[in-house]
Amino acid sequence: MSRLADRSLLTRCEIFVYFGVYIAYIVVGLYKIYVLRDHIAKEAKFQFPAGWNFYPFSQRRRDDSNDELENFGDFIASFWPFYLLHTVVQGFVRWKCPRLQCQGFAAVCALALCLSLDWTSVLLLATVIASYYLVSLARSKHLVWLLSGGWILCINLLQKNEWWTERVGYSEYVLVIVTLSWSVLRGCSYSLSKMGAQEEELQRYNIVQYLGYAMYFPCLTYGPIIGYRRFVDRREEEQQNWLEFAVGIIRSAFWWLVMQCALHYFYIHYMSRDVRMVELMDSVFWQHSAGYFMGQFFFLYYVVTYGLGIAFARQDGIPAPSRPRCIGRIHFYSDMWKYFDEGLYEFLFQHIYAELCGRRSSPAAKFGATALTFAFVFVWHGCYTYVLIWSILNFLCLAAEKLFRALTSLPEYKRITQRYLGTVGAQRLYAMMATQLFIPAAFSNVYFIGGQEIGDFLMRGAYLSGVGNYMALCFCSYCFFQCSELLLAKSDGRLKTKTN
């Protein structure tokens, strides 16, 4: 019997308990963060800016601690005319002359960069883009990775260059560093895809196509990464769906508005920067909820930024990756990589992992490929201690998950659990064991979101605060896991129905 059927055999009362615990923990945890708002505003190391000048926000201060969110707001405020120009140009081009689509992409992007950035920033970006096209002519994967290593080193050095930072200003510094990092991935995707292409496909890898890809403005700075193979599969002459495009833009705007409203009352971004504020919560058990909501606000940020890029890409006929999946519906860490940032996952899998091993490779080769993949993730995100810890935990959690799946797939394991526990009992045991993987995987994200101090604090709270606390955490996590399994089963059932 399939695991999909196993989940459907749980009793209604049991399912009610799972969802009841899940919802109650989220609601109470959010309330406990809410009641700390005034104390946090008073004790913060810097003063929050005044909130919106209308009721009910006029008496509140807004948490502006998340630099990424603030920089994105500044970026949209400065560059929104170029989003509009891109839409107008592409609407006209696809109506009159679809073959000029890539020229339109590159022209709008070049105009945006030249009118908005210092000449040193434009030169840097132009050099990165040009270097990958030139190295692709040599058709050497080793040269591509050598070039990428050089650019990653250069980006890390730029982050410590005070002269350049002072020259361009902090906002442009952040914009250029982020854009350079994405450009490295786009350059790799183009060059490596070209080397794997057949002779008859090389016409799709000309310089015009490349410039359109490397200078696609809606995804240039805030993503998501779209692989070159997706880009060249775009449907240039397909009729534009303006309603779907409007819905995508409105969805991003709506969630940005929700997040901005929430930051007048829930200072979760500041809590991720100041562990003293997390310590103010009633108990270690409720401090775990702070980690959960750090993850949810992190997720909403990417729903907004990626959602914007995806809406434009699909309007332009590009089969963009899916929007990030809510972390509340992800209970295996491998799914976090697959469904949170689908574009980055495809890049890592196609160009690193799959190049190092295959389906028939030995377990040692697969573990080695996974380790090298996370080594790239570490250096690409920046060689910081908290990123290293996050990368190592990611690797260990994925390795443990693979061992767990291998164990539970053994015929002997299935025979024993079926004999002594029955179908439903085996499913419960499966969820109990998987919960022990879910807990460290969930807390590992806090290192990436909030840094080492808050990550260490919550990890200690989970594992070093007594048996009672850990048992309570395990029970809640078990309920979360079962809820995610049930939601996945429902989603799979709908997919099968549509397919049939």
Q: Which residues are catalytic?
A: 381
CB < 8 Å & 24+ apart, contacts of 468-475:
469/283, 469/284, 469/285, 472/285, 473/285, 473/288, 473/439, 474/435, 474/436, 474/439, 475/21
Tokens of 109: 């992007």
Question: In angstroms, rounded to a whole number, what is the distance separating the alpha carbons of residues 319 and 316?
Answer: 9
Q: What are phi and psi of 50, to 5 degrees?
A: -65, 145
Note whether 186 and 225 are within 8 A (CB).
yes
Note whether 125 and 113 are within 8 A (CB).
yes
Tokens of 303: 């729903």
Tokens of 403: 């061992």
Note whether 434 and 331 are within 8 A (CB).
yes
Question: In angstroms, rounded to a whole number, what is the distance separating the alpha carbons of residues 259 and 301?
Answer: 8
Q: Measuring CA to CA, how many Å separate 143 from each of 149, 157, 292? A: 10, 21, 42
Cα angle vertex 235, ends 231, 239, to 5°?
140
Note whether 124 and 165 are within 8 A (CB).
no
Q: Measuring CA to CA, how many Å separate 217 from each of 83, 105, 187, 213, 302? A: 8, 7, 15, 9, 17
